[in-house]
A and B are shown apart, each in its own frame.
Chain A
Amino acid sequence: MALLQISEPGQTAAPHQHKLAAGIDLGTTNSLVATVRSGKAEILPDVEGMHLLPSVVRYCETGAPQVGAIAKQSAISDPRNTISSVKRYVGRGLADICKGCSRSEYEFVDSDSSVPRIRTVAGDISPVEVSAEILKNLKLRAEETLGGELTGVVITVPAYFDDAQRQSTKDAAQLAGLQVLRLLNEPTAAAVAYGLDKGSEGVHVIYDLGGGTFDISILRLNRGVFEVMSTAGNTALGGDDLDRIIAQWLIQQAGLDPSALSAGQMRATLLEACRAKEALSDAEVVGVSLSVTDGSVADDAVWQGELTRTQLYELIDPLIQKTLSSCRRALRDAGIDVDEIEDVVMVGGSTRSPRVRELVGEFFHCEPMVDIDPDKVVAAGAAIQADILVGNKPDDEMLLLDVIPLSLGIEIMGGLVEKIISRNTTIPSAKAQDFTTFKDGQTALAVHVVQGERELVSDCRSLARFELRGIPPMVAGNARIRVTFQVDADGLLSVTAREQISGVESTVQVKPSFGLTDGEIETMLRESMSHAQEDIAARMLREQQVEADRIIESVESAIVADAQLLSAEERSQIDVALSELRKMRDGDDPRKIKQAIEALNTASTDFAARRMDASIQSAMTGHKVDEF
């Protein structure tokens, strides 16, 4: 009889122990958290049974900010301190935020930092911090429901989010104390939720119209591999804009001066616009009313009118047509004909609008799929991906191959952009391009990284600037400076510049021009902890121990599996580094653990690379056998 095994106290149990993971849909209007339980993705409700957390945060003079429905109730009474739709501002500069909206509901202040902040009674708050409050709320909800700490999360972002918006989302997660396994594009997440349910192969379109953003992704499904062929969209177009345009019409009809409206009146008008829009899904005509005073006087004069469905369509059709233009472009970039499309999946609350469904159906010549609740499908897909990434399903065949939505390049002479990685390139991606100096004896080079499709730098988004210094003086045009762009699986860019002759090098993890600096994030983290110093020290030690366990386990199992790929000398170097790390791991000095981890990493890198090569080769050999 086989003996049952019992592990030593304090040691980790079996490697395939179920880990807690969650998917988070951080939406413009609502946010959700989901997890996989008993093989199925489930949206986790709050204590009152509500699945959707309104993405609204209210800052109060004292105490913690309110998040969700309770904050939303103050949208009209306390508009300046109640922040909704913050996703529109994340990763954006002040100029961008003000562009397009004649009147912002919030008071934005310019600060020393490049990040715009919103003035509230609790101080000036950056959009990243507001997002972090929403994430903290969902984290707490998940951990209380699941009864333990989350190992990692997948957070979804619009496919059309640029580098700055992605980096800011990741920063918000860090502030909320979440370990991000992956940033996942929302349409891809929806495809995961649908694809796994139906196992359908072929080309699929995901049409995702959320509160504030629009994405279209075209994917090819093949035996568990989701290959995104192209993506297009607009990060400043969503259901909110439909409401806004209806609200403008209401204001005009009521004969009000838009610039004289208070923030509270503006909110009330938007809510009325949204109500009318929803009512017209069933009715042909709906009565509308608007308070024409600011509510401070008793005799609240009310304007009353009506909105017909025909009038509604006249107002919103141009916006829906804009989304269809993006669809045309995505089809072209994918090199796909409308007739090759299997089906169109509708995602996002705004696709509930019958008019949106009608026009999208006409465009793609098919009945759009609405089987899964369009508000919940993204979070469900993220949960499935999180469950796989955290290691709960080691044998799962699913693989997501996504693309970057916008081209990445650098500024060259004359304010022009040289594209280095073009849009719709599959990530991860790495590309290098050589540049040279412009003047004799030039010893430094300014690298300006931009994102966008236009030829002029001024028409693209500025992502980062850095300098490569210490180039030895040479005749103009003689230096060879290789600029390498690397985009990781989250769609985040890092840039290296290296002078080839002298070997001078400079690297930046692109921190967006409108993002928080590492220093700012650290300060915020410190402030958020009660016993800052001890907490941070304890956290650093724990993080290093986790990483130490991870590399020890990985190297040990690699040796068991593939010892034949090691020379005796390499083996002994690895053994030395392993035993040193084991010793340090049980100490209490995070720096020493880190050093030992790096030593083991150096000793085992070639081995790891060889194993990866071998596994790719063996995958290819499988094909040879199949084909002959």
Chain B
Amino acid sequence: MHAADLSSNFFALFDLPVSFDIELDALSARYRDAQRAAHPDKFANAPEGERRLSVQMAARINEAYRVLKDPLSRGRYLLELHGVALDDSDTAFDGAFLMEQMELRERLADVKNSADSVSQLRIIADDIAAHDKSLITQMADLLNEASAESLQQARNVSRKLQFFRRLNEEVEALEDELGDY
């Protein structure tokens, strides 16, 4: 029973329906209450076995919250629950997407030599954020439709999102460099 509960899905852990559309406030409130019940601070005086158990349980609650909170990881998690393979190596992208990626990367590469690199970087970050937002909406619709075909499409959208997220990480790394964080 114990093992089964640890592997039960993240939505069930918070007693939420398995769906892309979740109330973030409700999720946060449930997360906090789940931690109130399981966190190691509540077991500081418990025997060692229970303390270990509580660390595992609290770690799982944290992980569940992290995955469900972010729309991309929530979407990919749903795809996994639907049995859609997430193997990242074999995705064919349309030409337009690839061109766009190349263009953004070139702009990013030019930032370092630019006179106002910080504001240039800001513009690129805003562009990425806009793409991110519209792709999330697309992915949400496809996931809610939940046909075999739409789930495949949702997977492709999630792959595109990952490209933007990676690009965003590079923007942040460059920000750190420029800002001497």
Residue positions of A touching B, CB distance < 8 A: 152, 181-182, 222-223, 225, 227, 232, 322, 325-326, 328-329, 332, 388-391, 397, 399-401, 425-431, 453, 486-489, 547, 550-551, 554-555, 597, 601, 604-606, 608-610, 612-613, 615-624, 627
Which A residues lie within 8 Å of B5 (CB)? 609, 613
Contact of B181 among A326, A425, A486, A619 (CB under 8 A): A326
Which B residues lie within 8 Å of A222 (CB)? 28, 32
B47 and A551: CB pair below 8 A?
yes
| B162 interfacial by beta-carbon distance below 8 Å | no
Given that A329-B176, A399-B39, A601-B49 are contacting pairs, would A620 and B33 also be in contact in the complex, using a CB cutoff of 8 Å? yes
State the CA gap A542–B39 with chains docked (Å). Answer: 27
CB contacts under 8 Å to A, within B7-63, are 13-15, 26, 28-30, 32-42, 44-50, 53-63
State the CA gap A397–B42 with chains docked (Å). Answer: 10
Which A residues lie within 8 Å of B166 (CB)? none
Contact of A610 among B1, B46, B63 (CB under 8 A): B1
Nearest B residue to A609, CB-CB: B2
Which A residues lie within 8 Å of B141 (CB)? none
Query: Nearest-CB distance from B41 to chain A (Å)?
Result: 6
A619 and B34: CB pair below 8 A?
yes
B1 and A329: CB pair below 8 A?
no
State the CA gap A59–B99 with chains docked (Å). Answer: 68
Contact of B47 among A225, A547, A618, A622 (CB under 8 A): A547
A619 and B55: CB pair below 8 A?
no
| B66 interfacial by beta-carbon distance below 8 Å | yes
Identify the 3 closest CB pairs spanning chains A and B, nearest first: A551-B47, A620-B15, A609-B2
The binding surface of chain A is classed by DSSP as helix
Which A residues lie within 8 Å of B59 (CB)? 427-430, 486-487
Which A residues lie within 8 Å of B39 (CB)? 399, 401, 489
B38 and A610: CB pair below 8 A?
no
A489 and B41: CB pair below 8 A?
yes
Nearest B residue to A181, CB-CB: B44
B63 and A609: CB pair below 8 A?
no
Contact of B53 among A232, A425, A609 (CB under 8 A): A609
B143-181 vs A, Cβ < 8 Å mask (1 yes, 0 no): 000000000000000000000000000001001100111
Indicate the size class of the contact surface on chain B: 35 or more
A488 and B55: CB pair below 8 A?
yes
Nearest A residue to B175, CB-CB: A332
Show 26 A/B contacts (Cβ-Cβ < 8 Å), sorted by A. Answer: A222-B28, A325-B180, A328-B181, A332-B175, A401-B39, A425-B66, A426-B62, A426-B66, A427-B59, A427-B62, A429-B63, A430-B59, A430-B63, A486-B59, A487-B59, A489-B39, A550-B45, A550-B46, A551-B48, A551-B49, A601-B49, A609-B1, A612-B38, A613-B2, A616-B38, A620-B30
State the CA gap A357–B167 with chains docked (Å). Answer: 36
Nearest B residue to A388, CB-CB: B41
Which A residues lie within 8 Å of B66 (CB)? 425-426
Residue positions of B touching A, CB distance < 8 A: 1-2, 5, 13-15, 26, 28-30, 32-42, 44-50, 53-63, 65-66, 172, 175-176, 179-181
Contact of A608 among B30, B53, B55 (CB under 8 A): B53
State the CA gap A550–B58 with chains docked (Å). Answer: 22
Which B residues lie within 8 Å of A488 (CB)? 40, 55
Given that A397-B36, A616-B34 are contacting pairs, would A608 and B49 also be in contact in the complex, using a CB cutoff of 8 Å? yes
Nearest A residue to B14, CB-CB: A620
State the CA gap A399–B60 with chains docked (Å). Answer: 17
Which A residues lie within 8 Å of B28 (CB)? 222
B41 and A399: CB pair below 8 A?
yes
State the CA gap A618–B34 with chains docked (Å). Answer: 9
State the CA gap A486–B181 with chains docked (Å). Answer: 28
State the CA gap A555–B47 with chains docked (Å). Answer: 9
Which A residues lie within 8 Å of B65 (CB)? 426
B48 and A601: CB pair below 8 A?
yes
15 other contacts beyond A610-B2, A623-B26, with CB at 8 A cut-off?
A: A227-B32, A390-B45, A399-B35, A399-B42, A429-B62, A430-B59, A430-B63, A489-B40, A550-B45, A551-B47, A601-B48, A606-B1, A608-B49, A609-B2, A615-B38
Query: Nearest-CB distance from B31 to chain A (Å)?
Result: 9
Which A residues lie within 8 Å of B56 (CB)? 428, 430
Nearest B residue to A329, CB-CB: B181
State the CA gap A453–B173 with chains docked (Å). Answer: 9
State the CA gap A609–B62 with chains docked (Å). Answer: 17
Contact of A391 among B38, B45, B61, B179 (CB under 8 A): B45
Which B residues lie within 8 Å of A325 (CB)? 179-181
State the CA gap A351–B60 with chains docked (Å). Answer: 38
State the CA gap A425–B54 with chains docked (Å). Answer: 18
Of A225, A551, A618, most buried by chain B (CB within 10 Å of CB) is A225
Nearest B residue to A223, CB-CB: B32
Query: Nearest-CB distance from B75 to chain A (Å)?
Result: 18
B15 and A624: CB pair below 8 A?
yes
Query: Nearest-CB distance from A456 to chain B (Å)?
Result: 13
State the CA gap A428–B49 with chains docked (Å). Answer: 16
Which B residues lie within 8 Å of A610 (CB)? 1-2
Given that A620-B15, A620-B30 are contacting pairs, would A428 and B62 also be in contact in the complex, using a CB cutoff of 8 Å? yes
Given that A391-B45, A430-B60, A615-B37 are contacting pairs, would A621 and B15 also be in contact in the complex, using a CB cutoff of 8 Å? yes
Of B32, B59, B180, most buried by chain A (CB within 10 Å of CB) is B59
Query: Nearest-CB distance from A570 to chain B (Å)?
Result: 11
State the CA gap A551–B42 with chains docked (Å). Answer: 15
Query: Nearest-CB distance from B24 to chain A (Å)?
Result: 12
Which A residues lie within 8 Å of B55 (CB)? 428, 486, 488-489
State the CA gap A556–B33 with chains docked (Å). Answer: 26
B34 and A389: CB pair below 8 A?
no
Query: Nearest-CB distance from A448 to chain B (Å)?
Result: 22
Given that A429-B63, A619-B36 are contacting pairs, would A182 and B15 also be in contact in the complex, using a CB cutoff of 8 Å? no
Which B residues lie within 8 Å of A397 (CB)? 36
Query: Nearest-CB distance from B45 to chain A (Å)?
Result: 5
A329 and B179: CB pair below 8 A?
yes
State the CA gap A431–B55 with chains docked (Å). Answer: 13
Nearest B residue to A232, CB-CB: B181
State the CA gap A284–B87 with chains docked (Å). Answer: 66
Query: Nearest-CB distance from A156 to chain B (Å)?
Result: 15
Query: Nearest-CB distance from B136 to chain A (Å)?
Result: 15
Query: Nearest-CB distance from B53 to chain A (Å)?
Result: 6
Nearest A residue to B33, CB-CB: A619
Query: Nearest-CB distance from B18 to chain A (Å)?
Result: 15
Given that A329-B176, A329-B179 are contacting pairs, would A612 and B54 also be in contact in the complex, using a CB cutoff of 8 Å? yes
State the CA gap A618–B35 with chains docked (Å). Answer: 12
Query: Nearest-CB distance from A557 to chain B (Å)?
Result: 11
Contact of B35 among A182, A322, A401, A609 (CB under 8 A): A401
Given that A332-B175, A426-B66, A623-B15 are contacting pairs, would A400 and B41 also be in contact in the complex, using a CB cutoff of 8 Å? yes
State the CA gap A605–B40 with chains docked (Å). Answer: 16
B41 and A623: CB pair below 8 A?
no
A225 and B176: CB pair below 8 A?
no
A182 and B179: CB pair below 8 A?
no
Query: Nearest-CB distance from A235 to chain B (Å)?
Result: 14
State the CA gap A419–B107 with chains docked (Å). Answer: 27
Which A residues lie within 8 Å of B46 (CB)? 550, 554
